[in-house]
Structure 1
Amino acid sequence: MVEQNELVEQNTLVEQIEPSFNRFRQAIAHKEFLITAEVSPPKGCDFAPMLHQTRSLKGLVHAVNVTDSSRAVMSMSPVAASVLIQQHLGIEAICQLACRDRNRIGLQGDLLGAAALGINNILALTGDPVKAGDAPDARSVFDYESVRLLQLIQKLNSGLDANGKSLPHQGTNFWTGAAIDPQSPSWSGLQKRFERKINAGAQFFQSQLITDFERLDKFMQQIASQSDKPILAGIFLIKSAKNALFLNKYVPGVQIPDHIIDRLARAKSPLQEGIAIAAEQIQTARQICQGVHIMAIKAEHLIPEILEKAGIHIAKR
């Protein structure tokens, strides 16, 4: 009788912690134009500002993508931040997980913890190099990279750990995504990497910041068309010409063209011009791929305005 009461209490606790967050997966199944937005956890334990910035996204995006110490700059655990967003705001989270900072033991521990706390979506990343961040002397791990992390998640989903041993009770139920860079100079390398991630279980792809939409279209036609997995184009809110130059200098793989920098430099209100550029890019992406991933670092409250200017609305379910 005591065991039965304990089981009831456990089930009640799970129901309280783990509401059903499967809207993103359903949107993919229904082939909706997908909208996600990036959210950065705080560099500290006060999560109120993060929730304040994110609150306005409810009902406007299918999910928020919570970063894992992006650019190797230390921040709150993405698992903790994802749980806080889901519990306090009711917005579905895609939790990024980078191999840079964890070995396979740590990765499995974080994944099992995320599953227990109701996180259903994982973006598997290799991770930015530590020399780009705020602790350049830190020791990198890279026990796995993104493809092997995707393979590990598929094992956990099937009820096995990294060693092929059965997990007690049941496996995880993650919907996994991966990063892709359609602007990569190596076309053959891009195709091989994309195919490896598909074979490793990636269900969706989020691109790096896109500025060359002809290149994105070529990628969609020649590489992505070989699969039915959705591609979300990375759209960045560039707040000024100075911001664009900073991104070009410090963010790996980013090259914002001169015509955008000049447009921002000439604008009376660079921020409003940046919003207009982002909206135009979303409209362009809508004709090419299956969704957009919007990055508006520390200005997430402006994403509703960007979506309104782009004429984008998600279907209510």
Structure 2
Amino acid sequence: MHENHSPLPISSFRSAALAGNFLITAEVAPPKGSDVSHMLQMAATLKGRVHAVNVTDGSRAVLRMSSLVASAILLHQGIEPICQIACRDRNRIGIQADLMGAHALGIHNILALTGDPVKAGDHPQAKPVFDLEAVRLLQLIQKLNQGVDDNEKPLPDGATDLFTGAAVDPQCPSWSGLQSRFEKKLAAGAQFFQSQLITDFDRLDKFMNTIAAGCNKPILAGIFLLKSAKNAEFINRCVPGVQIPQHIIDRLAQAKDPLEEGMKIAAEQVKIAQQLCQGVHMMAVRREDLIPEILEMAGVGLTSSRLTSPSVPEERIQLIGN
């Protein structure tokens, strides 16, 4: 039995977002099984260092423990979760049931996702559902927060209070498609946006100053810890829509300590993101314990995370190297 902790106050993540703070979140994956010890060990290193821990929901269509259950376990340990809800595996009845359950458990932060295709994962023979996609999921959550279900029927036991975010990919090759999707998610009630892994910060800069300008919603840049050149090449092969530049792969390959070099690259990227948007979402698969050190290298912490007016330094383009 895990040690009991007193419940958290109402979302510190939501409070920080609404206050205009520079937001710091980090991703953890639920276990592939029932042993949560590694997840808890990694999440414990993040406690007090990030505003919330983002819990994946079948990322890359790989089987893992329920994101809702994993989020509840983290909350019980005093760690505020952002629970991902993907549309791939459940119809709207199941999704609404999970969302009402999340609210009842005190899990108020939700990241609404369409979900990765089944064929990308470890059960390619599974039947995908996709009754909804991200925009319609956001619309459904809006209804639940207004006290009605997806059929506009009143919820007799009360409305939910969910703080909902959505994904965005500033590196999407279709600029018009990116703008259209972003605007639809805004209209559907997205309160914050978490980006895919960012490697092209000029593209992020353009996105922030054109498409996202004036939206008044936090955008968190996805920062990924690359552990080696081999790891970067794997990302390029296996993660749709992501392309790690060759100069970063070369830098990792030439480093005496590739993991340390990957941490330096991630810290440099955090510094750039701090000048461009209102937060970072840190991803360090199975090495989440290194995220606090990366944040320290970048000079970013919760106590110094008040949002300041972006002013991109001259050395920004040189930080990651060419």
Shorter-chain TM-score category?
A: over 0.9
State the partner residue of 1:299: 287
Q: What is the percentage of aligned positions where both structures have the same residue?
A: 66
The alpha carbon displacement at 1:19 in A equals: 3.8
Greater Cα offset, 21-30 or 179-188: 21-30
The separation in 2 between residues aligned to 1:306 and 1:223, in whole angstroms, is 29
State the partner residue of 1:66: 55
- Contact preservation (8 Å) 1:21, 1:92: no
State whether structure 2 residue 237 is matched by structure 1 residue 249.
yes
Q: 1:174 aligns with which of 162, 165, 171?
A: 162
Aligned partner of 1:211: which letter? T
State whether structure 2 residue 109 is matched by structure 1 residue 121.
yes
Written as runs of structure 1 = structure 2, the 5 A alignment for 1:178-189 is 178-189=166-177
State whether structure 2 residue 276 is matched by structure 1 residue 288.
yes
The separation in 2 between residues aligned to 1:230 and 1:95, in whole angstroms, is 17
State whether structure 2 residue 75 is matched by structure 1 residue 86.
yes
- Contact preservation (8 Å) 1:17, 1:118: no
The separation in 2 between residues aligned to 1:53 and 1:169, in whole angstroms, is 36
The separation in 2 between residues aligned to 1:306 and 1:19, in whole angstroms, is 26
State the partner residue of 2:133: 145
SS at match of 1:152: helix
Label 1:18 to 1:156 Cα distance change in 2 as closer, same or farther (>3 A).
Answer: farther
SS at match of 2:252: helix
- Contact preservation (8 Å) 2:208, 2:277: yes
State the partner residue of 2:317: none
The separation in 2 between residues aligned to 1:118 and 1:244, in whole angstroms, is 37
Q: 2:119 aligns with which of 116, 131, 140?
A: 131
Aligned partner of 1:84: which letter? I
State the partner residue of 1:10: none
State the partner residue of 1:3: none
State the partner residue of 1:27: 16
State the partner residue of 2:25: 36
State the partner residue of 2:188: 200
Structure 2 residue ranges without an equivalent (≥5): 306-322
Normalised by the size of structure 2, how large is the TM-score?
0.92
State whether structure 2 residue 241 is matched by structure 1 residue 258.
no
Aligned partner of 1:36: which letter? T
The alpha carbon displacement at 1:91 in A equals: 1.4
State whether structure 2 residue 160 is matched by structure 1 residue 160.
no
Aligned partner of 2:201: which letter? F
The separation in 2 between residues aligned to 1:296 and 1:17, in whole angstroms, is 28
Structure 1 residue ranges without an equivalent (≥5): 1-15
The alpha carbon displacement at 1:169 in A equals: 2.6
State the partner residue of 1:5: none
The alpha carbon displacement at 1:48 in A equals: 1.2
- Contact preservation (8 Å) 1:18, 1:117: no
The alpha carbon displacement at 1:168 in A equals: 1.4
The separation in 1 between residues aligned to 2:43 and 2:289, in whole angstroms, is 7
Aligned partner of 2:241: which letter? G
The separation in 2 between residues aligned to 1:91 and 1:283, in whole angstroms, is 25
Written as runs of structure 1 = structure 2, the 5 A alignment for 1:259-274 is 259-274=247-262
For each residue in 1:262-313, what CA deviation from the matched residue of structure 2 results, as whole angstroms up to 9, or x when unmatched?
Answer: 0000000000000000000000000011100000010000001100100001
The separation in 2 between residues aligned to 1:69 and 1:260, in whole angstroms, is 28
The separation in 2 between residues aligned to 1:127 and 1:20, in whole angstroms, is 30
The alpha carbon displacement at 1:86 in A equals: 1.0
RMSD: 1.3
State the partner residue of 1:221: 209
State whether structure 2 residue 97 is matched by structure 1 residue 109.
yes
SS at match of 1:101: coil
SS at match of 1:38: strand
- Detail structure 1 runs of 4+ shifted over 6 Å in the superposition: none
Q: 1:190 aligns with which of 156, 164, 178?
A: 178
The separation in 1 between residues aligned to 2:284 and 2:154, in whole angstroms, is 41
The alpha carbon displacement at 1:173 in A equals: 0.2
* More helix as a share of residues: 1
Normalised by the size of structure 1, how large is the TM-score?
0.93
The separation in 2 between residues aligned to 1:80 and 1:25, in whole angstroms, is 21
